[in-house]
Chains A and B, each alone.
Chain A
Amino acid sequence: MLHIIDRRFNSANKSSVNRQRLMKRVQARIKEAVEEAVSKRAMDDLGRGGEVSVPKADISEPVFGHGPGGQVTHVLPGNKQFQVGDKMMRPSGGAGGGGAGGGSSDDGQYENEFTFQITRAEYLDYLFDGLELPYLVKKDLSKQESAKYRNAGFTAQGSPEKLNVLRTLSRARGRRIALTASLKKRILALQLQLEKGKLEVEERLQLQAELQRLLKRKSSLPFLEQVDLRFHNLTKVPNPAISAVMFCIMDVSGSMTQAMKDMAKRYFLLLYLFLERQYGKTEIVFISHHTQAREVDDQTFFYSRESGGTIVSSALQLALDIIRQRYPSHNWNIYVAQASDGDNWPDDSDRCQQLINELVPLCQYFTYVEIGVHTEKPLWLNYAPLAATHGEHFAMRSITSVKDIYPVFHDLFSRGKSP
């Protein structure tokens, strides 16, 4: 009799542990491949999982085998023309042929790379491993996302599971001591009288009855009474949410070539993916500017093709305005990431300097990235002095090619900046 088992509903993930072991083995290689993908992939694919290739040698499973050479006979099928004694040149690919060839063709398809699929989550984990937003410390009391219960002394009322046994028992004991003190005194006195005093029989009987009455009163005192009970008291304490906002300020002026804009967008996309993955509740403000600055949504920010002259101060002013209106700096951890080619309208420099001096102190961390060939551009010169005055809360880097994006990004946000 046939025994049929339907296993289709069992989990299909029998190999997941083995797969993790494999990934652990080639961890360093996967990380390399993922980082490379940042500069090689199309913008839209940046955040997706997908294929990762690692060198085959890292996960080879060698066995003892034969090398080419020797005097080997092969039996082959499909002879149409050969006669005994026919000679032909050795086919390229060496003396593989026959059985040996069958075995190795499997590997041949993949050449030197072993390719496997990783999911989006795995990909992002590798990408953002060891990164964080530095100085994430300010808390916003007005926004309460969760509440904590904290011990707040003791109360006389409560549910049984919150009973504090120690307190309850010590109170009960205190009560018993207090209430029996006078009784005890009188009992002691009576006992003394009965032992030592010379008493009439009648008097003695009277005293004994009195003693019995007192002893009974003493023993009838309850061990535990309602008034003794004490309970843990828990109060709700608001747990202020850590609130952070990231300002992404991108220069889209005409002096930025398409390639430079693409680099800037990649940089911001990486930042966007990072915040989305690691800090779900972070707010992000997108500002793109040429001579005028606009607050835009993410679609416009990443895909619009606007262009124009450059007045950097417009963007800085807008950021300042938004901070004043919506993100008071005493409640918010403010981050600014600015990317620009560093060109600015010459007359704007002074105003820029002034705004920077206002803006940077409000921020937890201000990053400026200059895109393109690094020459000391006006904006770079504006920012340079800040590195000295604001130290760790300010960082500026330059990105000259797509390859620099991930290293710069990694450098700016690597863990361990904040104490």
Chain B
Amino acid sequence: MKDKIITNSSEWTMPLLQRFDSEIGRIADAFGLDCYSNQLEVISAEQMIDAYASVGLPISYFHWSYGKQFETTRARYESGRMGLAYEMVINSSPCIAYLMEENTMAMQVLVIAHACYGHNSFFKGNYMFREWTDASAIVDYMVFAKDYILQCEDQHGVDEVEQVLDSCHALITHGVNRYVRPPALSKAEEKLRQKDREVALQKQVNHLWVTISQASEKDVLEQEETKFPVEPEENLLYFIEKNSPILEPWQREVVRIVRKIAQYFYPQKQTKVMNEGWACFWHYTIFTELHAQGLINDGFMLEFFDIHSRVLRQADFNNPAYSGINPYTLGYAMMTDIRRICETPTEEDQRWFPDLVGSDWQQSLDFAMRNFKDESFILQYLSPKVIRDLKLFTVVDDERLDHVRVSSIHDEQGYQQIRADLASEYSLNRTEPNIQVTNVALRGDRSLTLQHTQVDGRPMSDNTHDMLKHVHQLWGFKVVLNSADLNGEVSNTYVSIEPESSPP
């Protein structure tokens, strides 16, 4: 047995990385993980900070906000307030993973198992990623975006471009088609289309904003009745790109670029728990397997347990270190529990998960990974055992009362409710206000009307006026936001103030 151990050293080398990867690949294959091919990049701490700054994308256009992110990360890292992630992985094909040079051998192996096989197979399998992103095109697209924005800066000046980008970045959370996925394009196609698009798009907008109407009085009156947009539009950036009366063709393209990038990150936001849970489950399973096959020694395994348990630490709600539910913990607990239910079900599981009990755990887990996002995954799979293990409870915070109330705890009556409550915390409406474009005064003052639909009676935040400035900047005319409850009763109205410097 002993001679099978790959290394006894904690120093990593390139050949050792290769060796471990082929072993892990073999194990992953045996478990049926379907992955993109892998590309590992060994980087220094400083480069990792760079990678943080551009949200992991290997290439991006220039913008001050990335500089801000860089400075923040560097300051925190250098003052010892935060450690850097051991790895970062990009949803691309081939799947690019960054390894920090200062990691030990065990950490590097953990990263390979976690990122190159865990996250990688999730990117390839999960329906959100399959539908909304195009792994083979993203790096190409970013090259196109960077080139295009550089070119715009040459032609129109850095400040002009920055102004547009600032406003687009502000609306980035509302620059996604939540329900329908637009087709993805690669760099070459994008370039070809981009020229045509400039012309076509402008034509379309011009058509919308004809000022010299040859119609008779009666027609005008009729037209005022017509509503635009016909259906409310949730993707503000898309609506602005297509319909803003003031943007020039290049500005529309910039809006589009930001929108495309938002679209790319959209699935990641909604699958954090699943994605991390899946990756943790597999790094754990793979390490156990490596140890069982006698490829790593006990010390190696102990170091792994140490890192693993630190990653999965969940502070209690009343602990000063508490900052929300750790997605790694929740995801790992749920993934592990699915396997447990399949293999060694209890009487309780028989009642809660009749379909899972006795099924092949690999198939069931694979199904769960492919067909859900956090919200639906929790709603479907959060088991009473996990609720008990984490001792979850729900409190209701109603602003009309001066106290908060515990509404459910981990008992027979509470499981269903906690499951529904936790799932709703991961819904987009909970994390981001639901805002839609409802009307444009086509023949009037050209003002844009947005509607906020309050969920749980939550109002808009204080900075809403600042936000409307950005919308105004891109729209060019007055912007009104009505904040209404579920019955459509408007409780608050915000009107944009003219931005200081008007766009060109």
CA distance A61 to B74 in the complex (A): 19
Interface size on A, residues (CB 8 A): 68
Using CB atoms, name the residue of chain A closest to B485. A70
Using CB atoms, name the residue of chain A closest to B418. A75
Interface string of B26-57 (1 = CB under 8 A from A): 00000000000111111110110110011000
A101–B67 CB distance below 8 A: no
B396–A20 CB distance below 8 A: no
Query: Is A419 interfacial (CB-CB < 8 Å)?
Result: no
Interface string of B134-171 (1 = CB under 8 A from A): 00000000000000000000000010001000000111
Given contacts A65-B463, A67-B460, contact A79 B454 (CB under 8 A): no
Using CB atoms, name the residue of chain B closest to A23. B67
Please tell me which one of the listed residues A3, A18, A74, A89 contacts residue B70 in the complex, with CB atoms under 8 A apart. A18
CA distance A67 to B466 in the complex (A): 14
Query: Is A78 interfacial (CB-CB < 8 Å)?
Result: yes
Contacts of B162 in A (CB 8 A): 21
B407–A21 CB distance below 8 A: no
Contacts of B53 in A (CB 8 A): 14-15, 18
A77–B39 CB distance below 8 A: no
B325–A77 CB distance below 8 A: yes
Least Cβ–Cβ distance between B165 and chain A, in angstroms: 10
B393–A114 CB distance below 8 A: no
CA distance A147 to B16 in the complex (A): 60
B75–A116 CB distance below 8 A: yes
A3–B316 CB distance below 8 A: no
Interface stretch among A90-98, A233-241, A295-303?
A: A90-98
Interface string of A82-113 (1 = CB under 8 A from B): 11111111110001011101110100011000
B64–A77 CB distance below 8 A: no
Contacts of A87 in B (CB 8 A): 403-406
B409–A3 CB distance below 8 A: no
Query: Is B297 interfacial (CB-CB < 8 Å)?
Result: no
Using CB atoms, name the residue of chain B closest to A110. B72
Contacts of A44 in B (CB 8 A): none
Please tell me which one of the listed residues A23, A79, A102 contacts residue B392 in the complex, with CB atoms under 8 A apart. A79
Query: Is B240 interfacial (CB-CB < 8 Å)?
Result: no
Query: Is A115 interfacial (CB-CB < 8 Å)?
Result: yes
Contacts of B211 in A (CB 8 A): none
Please tell me which one of the listed residues B63, B394, B459 contacts residue A18 in the complex, with CB atoms under 8 A apart. B63
Query: Is A166 interfacial (CB-CB < 8 Å)?
Result: no
Query: Is A258 interfacial (CB-CB < 8 Å)?
Result: no
Please tell me which one of the listed residues A66, A90, A117 contacts residue B458 in the complex, with CB atoms under 8 A apart. A66
Contacts of B76 in A (CB 8 A): 109
Using CB atoms, name the residue of chain A closest to B22. A2
CA distance A46 to B396 in the complex (A): 54
Please tell me which one of the listed residues A2, A3, A7, A59 contacts residue B64 in the complex, with CB atoms under 8 A apart. A59
In chain B, positions 471-502 with a C-beta closer than 8 Å to chain A are none
A78–B460 CB distance below 8 A: no
Please tell me which one of the listed residues B42, B70, B464 contacts residue A5 in the complex, with CB atoms under 8 A apart. B42
**Most chain B beta-carbon neighbours within 10 Å: one of A6, A69, A76, A85:** A76
Contacts of A79 in B (CB 8 A): 317, 391-393, 409-410
CA distance A70 to B491 in the complex (A): 13
Please tell me which one of the listed residues B68, B424, B462 contacts residue A73 in the complex, with CB atoms under 8 A apart. B424
A84–B432 CB distance below 8 A: no
Contacts of B116 in A (CB 8 A): 2
Contacts of A18 in B (CB 8 A): 53, 62-67, 70
Query: Is B131 interfacial (CB-CB < 8 Å)?
Result: no
Please tell me which one of the listed residues B81, B169, B325, B409 contacts residue A109 in the complex, with CB atoms under 8 A apart. B81
Contacts of A59 in B (CB 8 A): 64-65, 68
Contacts of A1 in B (CB 8 A): 37
Please tell me which one of the listed residues A20, A66, A88 contacts residue B404 in the complex, with CB atoms under 8 A apart. A88
Please tell me which one of the listed residues A25, A70, A102 contacts residue B454 in the complex, with CB atoms under 8 A apart. A70
Contacts of B408 in A (CB 8 A): 84
CA distance A75 to B94 in the complex (A): 38
A6–B42 CB distance below 8 A: yes
Contacts of B458 in A (CB 8 A): 66-67, 69-70, 72
Query: Is A178 interfacial (CB-CB < 8 Å)?
Result: no
CA distance A63 to B167 in the complex (A): 10
CA distance A78 to B462 in the complex (A): 32
Least Cβ–Cβ distance between A204 and chain B, in angstroms: 80
A74–B39 CB distance below 8 A: no
Contacts of A65 in B (CB 8 A): 432-433, 460-461, 463
Given contacts A76-B393, A78-B318, A83-B409, contact A70 B101 (CB under 8 A): no
Using CB atoms, name the residue of chain B closest to A116. B71
Given contacts A83-B409, A89-B402, contact A15 B418 (CB under 8 A): no
Contacts of B67 in A (CB 8 A): 15, 17-23
B405–A86 CB distance below 8 A: yes
Query: Is B445 interfacial (CB-CB < 8 Å)?
Result: no
A75–B464 CB distance below 8 A: no
Contacts of A70 in B (CB 8 A): 398-399, 454, 456-459
In chain A, positions 131-148 with a C-beta closer than 8 Å to chain B are none
In chain B, positions 413-433 with a C-beta closer than 8 Å to chain A are 413-414, 418, 421-422, 424-425, 430-433
Given contacts A2-B22, A3-B37, A7-B41, contact A64 B397 (CB under 8 A): no
Query: Is A71 interfacial (CB-CB < 8 Å)?
Result: yes
B173–A64 CB distance below 8 A: yes
Given contacts A4-B18, A21-B67, A22-B67, contact A63 B40 (CB under 8 A): no
B170–A98 CB distance below 8 A: no
In chain B, positions 429-469 with a C-beta closer than 8 Å to chain A are 430-433, 435, 454, 456-464, 466-467
23 pairs, CB–CB < 8 Å, chain A vs chain B = A2-B21, A3-B39, A3-B40, A5-B41, A6-B41, A8-B44, A12-B44, A14-B54, A18-B64, A18-B65, A21-B63, A25-B64, A60-B466, A68-B399, A73-B396, A75-B392, A78-B319, A80-B391, A87-B403, A88-B404, A89-B403, A103-B324, A109-B81
Contacts A12-B50, A75-B422 known; 9 new A-B pairs at CB < 8 A: A3-B94, A8-B44, A14-B53, A64-B433, A67-B459, A77-B391, A85-B406, A89-B403, A117-B75
Interface residues, chain B, CB within 8 Å of chain A? 14, 17-18, 21-22, 25, 37-44, 46-47, 49-50, 53-54, 62-68, 70-72, 74-76, 78, 81, 94, 101, 116, 158, 162, 169-174, 314-319, 323-325, 390-400, 402-411, 413-414, 418, 421-422, 424-425, 430-433, 435, 454, 456-464, 466-467, 470
Closest 7 CB pairs of A and B: A78-B316, A102-B324, A22-B67, A70-B458, A18-B67, A70-B457, A76-B317
